[in-house]
Amino acid sequence: MKQRGANVFRSLDWIVLLIYSLLLFMGWFNIYAACYDDTHDSIFDFSMRYGKQLVWIGVSYVIVILIMASNFRLYSVLSYFIYGFMILLLMAVLVVGTKTNGARSWFEIGPLKIQPAEFAKFATALALSKVMSAYNFDIKKISDLLLAIGILALPAGLILLQPDMGSVLVYASMIFVFYREGLWSMVLWLIVVGIAIFVTTLQYPLVFVMIGIVIVAGIWLLAFGRTIVEVLIAWGAVAVLTGLLWIVNHYLLHDRFEWHHLIVGASLILLPAVAIYSYMQRAWSATLIWLGLIACFAVVFSVDFVFNNIMTDHQQTLIRVFLGLEVDPKGTGYNVEQSKIAIGSGGFAGKGYLQGTQTKFNFVPEQATDFIFCTVGEEWGFVGSTVVILLFLSLILRIIYLAELQRSAFARIYGYCVASILFFHVGINIGMTIGLVPVIGIPLPFFSYGGSSLWSFTVLLFIFVRMDASRDELL
The helix or strand, by DSSP H or E, that contains position 292, with its residue range, turns out to be helix 284-305
Task: Indicate if 198 and 175 belong to the same structural domain.
Answer: no
For residue 475, is it within any domain? no
Instruction: Compute the distance between CA of residue 91 and CA of residue 160 in angstroms, rounded to an integer.
Output: 11
| Residue span of the structural domain in which 75 resides | 2-184+324-469
Beta-ladder partners of 98:
106
Instruction: Give the 3-state secondary structure of residue 107.
Output: strand
Q: Is there a cis peptide before residue 163, judged by omega within 30 degrees of 0? A: yes
When comparing pLDDT for 39 and 148, which is higher? 148
Instruction: Compute the distance between CA of residue 215 and CA of residue 222 in angstroms, rounded to an integer.
Output: 11
Task: Indicate if 178 and 190 belong to the same structural domain.
Answer: no
Helices 259-280 and 206-223: crossing angle in degrees, nearest 10, is: 20
Instruction: Compute the distance between CA of residue 131 and CA of residue 118 in angstroms, rounded to an integer.
Output: 21
Instruction: Compute the distance between CA of residue 165 and CA of residue 29 in angstroms, rounded to an integer.
Output: 29
Burial class (CB in 10 A: 0-12, 13-18, 19+), 400: middle
Task: Indicate if 408 and 425 belong to the same structural domain.
Answer: yes
Task: Indicate if 45 and 137 belong to the same structural domain.
Answer: yes
Domain-ending residue, one of 268, 288, 311? 311
- Express each pLDDT in 370-396 by its tens digit: 788 888 888 888 898 999 999 999 999
Amino acid (one-letter) located at 243: G
Task: Indicate if 61 and 209 belong to the same structural domain.
Answer: no
For residue 345, is it within any domain? yes
The helix or strand, by DSSP H or E, that contains position 314, with its residue range, turns out to be helix 313-323
- Express each pLDDT in 355-374 by its tens digit: 777 666 666 666 777 788 88
CA-CA distances (angstroms) from residue 151 to 79, 137, 171? 12, 14, 10
Which 8-state DSSP code applies to residue 113?
A: E
Highest mean pLDDT, choosing among 105-119, 129-143, 161-175, 263-277: 129-143
Q: Per the structure, how many domains does the chain have?
A: 2
- Under the banding of pLDDT at 50, 70 and 90, the label for residue 340 is confident
Task: Indicate if 26 and 175 belong to the same structural domain.
Answer: yes
- Express each pLDDT in 345-357 by its tens digit: 778 888 888 777 7
- Express each pLDDT in 34-44 by its tens digit: 887 777 667 78
Cβ distance 76 to 131 under 8 Å?
no
Amino acid (one-letter) located at 160: L
Residue 26, pLDDT > 80, answer yes
Task: Indicate if 224 and 235 belong to the same structural domain.
Answer: yes
- Residue 418 is predicted with a pLDDT of 95
Task: Indicate if 29 and 42 belong to the same structural domain.
Answer: yes
Task: Indicate if 221 and 344 belong to the same structural domain.
Answer: no
- Residue 362 is predicted with a pLDDT of 65
For residue 474, is it within any domain? no
Domain-ending residue, one of 311, 346, 381? 311
For residue 248, is it within any domain? yes
For residue 97, is it within any domain? yes
Task: Indicate if 179 and 156 belong to the same structural domain.
Answer: yes
Cβ distance 474 to 467 under 8 Å?
yes
Query: What are the backbone dihedrals phi and psi of residue 99, each rounded to the nearest 5 degrees, phi first?
Result: -90, 125
Task: Indicate if 335 and 283 belong to the same structural domain.
Answer: no
For residue 271, is it within any domain? yes
* 36-75 burial code (b ≥16 CB/10 A, e <16): beeeeeeeebeebbbbbbbebbeebeebbeebbeeebeeb
Instruction: Give the 3-state secondary structure of residue 442.
Output: coil
- Residue 67 is predicted with a pLDDT of 92
Query: What are the backbone dihedrals phi and psi of residue 100, each rounded to the nearest 5 degrees, phi first?
Result: -135, 130
Percent of the chain with pLDDT over 70: 80
Q: Give 133-138's long-range contacts (Cβ < 8 A, gap of 24+).
A: 133/408, 133/409, 133/410, 133/413, 138/182
Closest Cα to residue 384, out of 396, 395, 372?
Answer: 372
For residue 154, is it within any domain? yes
Domain-ending residue, one of 311, 342, 367? 311
Q: Is 354 left (phi over 0), alpha (psi -120 to 50) or beta?
A: left
- Express each pLDDT in 413-457 by its tens digit: 999 999 999 999 999 888 888 877 777 778 899 988 888 889 999
Instruction: Compute the distance between CA of residue 151 and CA of residue 174 in angstroms, rounded to an integer.
Output: 11
Burial class (CB in 10 A: 0-12, 13-18, 19+), 11: middle
The torsion angle over the Cα atoms of residues 157, 163, 165 and 168, rounded to 10 degrees, is -30
* Average pLDDT of span 94-110: 76
Instruction: Compute the distance between CA of residue 118 and CA of residue 294 in angstroms, rounded to an integer.
Output: 35
- Under the banding of pLDDT at 50, 70 and 90, the label for residue 403 is very high
Beta-ladder partners of 40:
37
Cβ distance 469 to 72 under 8 Å?
yes
pTM of the predicted model as reported, rounded to 2 decimal places:
0.79
Closest Cα to residue 392, out of 43, 9, 19?
Answer: 19
Amino acid (one-letter) located at 83: Y
Task: Indicate if 19 and 91 belong to the same structural domain.
Answer: yes
For residue 319, is it within any domain? no
- Residue 220 is predicted with a pLDDT of 65
- Express each pLDDT in 240-254 by its tens digit: 888 888 888 777 777
